[in-house]
Structure 1
């Protein structure tokens, strides 16, 4: 892929607002990558759902998917008028990042990001609050993702939201660990939907993986080179996240982490994928291998590259690449929706 040679460039200069937030995140981690949970939760401010439209016309409401396991989602719906109000909208099912152990659908950065996606794409966004490790290890997050799709397939969305969704134009999206979840949920759904009884109406039209969290026991050249290049992610932290999520005793070569190579199974109905890769993300080597695996299996994949982007750039609207990414997502959804969006 173009633009990702090892030029040993200096990390990009970041706005002070971004640097402050990254410094706070760094302070919540110990040198071994583990989380100082008290500090983290002090900084993980939550936003409440808001049924009243915001300045962009986006409303949100929390929906219970499975009370027995505490599974819920925050649903964001855009302002629609005239002809658009009568049209069924594409739906984007979003999985937040955080190494499978941090953040929630209510965390302010994710509430704000999903509002932006909803407004810019003109789509309904369902942000899944999946269970976290280490209390809920593999495969809990994947189980919750599939449960969210089943809920939408059977129940749709509450009528009081005032919007209809086109279940034949359902997209999965996620960043970092959420991108990992989006891949595995897509594979599970694509593997079983064709033979499901009764038949399902929800069709995966595409998946957007933003700097997905993949890995393995070996250290890639990119992991070694970029370990200290950014405050947003280090090797120690990635190792910690895998230890908290994977089954006890599993290595990073577990199928949940190492999603590349000939052993990876991809269903016939596996959807087209868009993969966003940042030039200063230590995970980019694994992401490149994932893209190559999709291509070797004949799966449609689009790569969008941001040479100066750090891991997690999408969460900072003051970064130009964050806006560019949402624009690329809009084009991808337009291209792959059953009914082309205006």
Structure 2
């Protein structure tokens, strides 16, 4: 008799891969004292945006009507989770979106995307494109949706915010869509916010080899990459490392403004800082902000904190500047 299937990859108990290729995803998850914050100034609603893959997104908007002086900007929030875990329904993601909606006075759209290892890259990037095409279809529709009324929602001021693996996706969207996203007209992306984008590389950085974080260590980072890059790929794959040996040059890429933010104590810090500096060196419109002493997920996991307020202020100023 053969041996029983055993766990070969374990992502914090949330996702387990067995030796026979079967996969377990936990229905109940310990969020380590992260609870839904009741923000009564924000209302939300779910939509199915991709029937083929059964993917939904959640819209958040201020409960009060927008001021007569202007429409609500649209913020797309792409959750993190190493491409392997995460959901718009998780309390940290929900809290982050209500904070973005209230702090920025925005209509926030939070799409789910397919997860690895069942759906390796580029599936999450493809899904993010689909979610944006869904918005484009709404902007073109004559059947006006009350939540996406062009009199209240500004399809010409769209900002894409990506956290961790969502930041990686946001980078690829920025490259693929190009300056002011002509493929999405009348939807127009004005800028991108990358919150500690999840980039990889075979060569280790100093921050990766440094002290582990509360939520991350090198073993977890490597596991996420093993499970998410295309079969046969490694951490230098172009979808993991934007400056890998086989990655296309970004010199000629026409990019919208990018705000890059990271915690000073993150294992990803060196890669994030290097990403921003390289793009700046190419003449791209990039701003880099580092939060001293903060670890990975400091905004997403505690969006209503003092540091969260600083992040909101930074994003608000970026939105104003990039829309001029």
Establish whether TM, by shorter chain, passes 0.5.
yes
TM superposition score normalised by structure 2 = 0.83
Question: Following the alignment from structure 1 to structure 2, what is the Cα–Cα distance between the partners of residues 251 and 147?
Answer: 26
Deviates more, 1:154-163 or 1:241-250: 154-163
Query: Given the alignment, which residue of 91, 94, 97 partners 1:114?
Result: 97
Question: Following the alignment from structure 2 to structure 1, what is the Cα–Cα distance between the partners of residues 266 and 100?
Answer: 22
Residue equivalent to 2:163: 175
Residue equivalent to 1:316: 302
Check if 1:270 corresponds to 2:249. Answer: no
Query: Given the alignment, which residue of 223, 232, 235 partners 1:252?
Result: 235
What SS does structure 1 have at the residue aligned with 2:110? strand
Is the alpha carbon distance of 1:72 and 1:269 closer, same or farther for their aligned partners in structure 2, counting shifts above 3 Å? Answer: farther
Structure 1 residue 260 displacement after superposition = 3.0
Q: Greater helix share, 1 or 2?
A: 1
Question: Following the alignment from structure 2 to structure 1, what is the Cα–Cα distance between the partners of residues 148 and 137?
Answer: 18
* Contact map agreement 1:72 1:129 (CA 8 A) in 2: yes
Question: Following the alignment from structure 1 to structure 2, what is the Cα–Cα distance between the partners of residues 255 and 233?
Answer: 23
Where does the alignment leave 5 or more consecutive residues of structure 1 unmatched? 1-29, 46-53
Aligned-residue CA RMSD (Å): 2.5
Query: Given the alignment, which residue of 177, 182, 185 partners 1:200?
Result: 185
Check if 1:34 corresponds to 2:3. Answer: no
Structure 1 residue 312 displacement after superposition = 0.8
Query: Given the alignment, which residue of 311, 325, 332 partners 2:318?
Result: 332
Question: Following the alignment from structure 1 to structure 2, what is the Cα–Cα distance between the partners of residues 162 and 172?
Answer: 17
- Aligned pairs for 1:44-193 within 5 A: 55-81=39-65, 84=67, 87-156=70-139, 159-161=145-147, 163=149, 164-190=152-178, 193=181
Deviation sequence 1:248-290 (CA, Å, 0-9, x none): 1101000111123784336644110111111110111110111
Question: Following the alignment from structure 1 to structure 2, what is the Cα–Cα distance between the partners of residues 231 and 143?
Answer: 31
Where does the alignment leave 5 or more consecutive residues of structure 2 unmatched? 1-6, 15-23, 32-37
Structure 1 residue 128 displacement after superposition = 1.0
- Aligned pairs for 1:287-326 within 5 A: 287-314=272-299, 315-317=301-303, 319-326=305-312
Deviation sequence 1:64-100 (CA, Å, 0-9, x none): 111111122100011344x715732111111001111
Is the alpha carbon distance of 1:32 and 1:72 closer, same or farther for their aligned partners in structure 2, counting shifts above 3 Å? Answer: closer
Structure 1 residue 297 displacement after superposition = 2.0
* Contact map agreement 2:72 2:106 (CA 8 A) in 1: yes
* Contact map agreement 2:99 2:304 (CA 8 A) in 1: no
Question: Following the alignment from structure 1 to structure 2, what is the Cα–Cα distance between the partners of residues 333 and 104?
Answer: 25
* Residue correspondences, number: 295
TM superposition score normalised by structure 1 = 0.79
Residue equivalent to 2:210: 225
Residue equivalent to 1:6: none
Deviates more, 1:36-45 or 1:65-74: 36-45
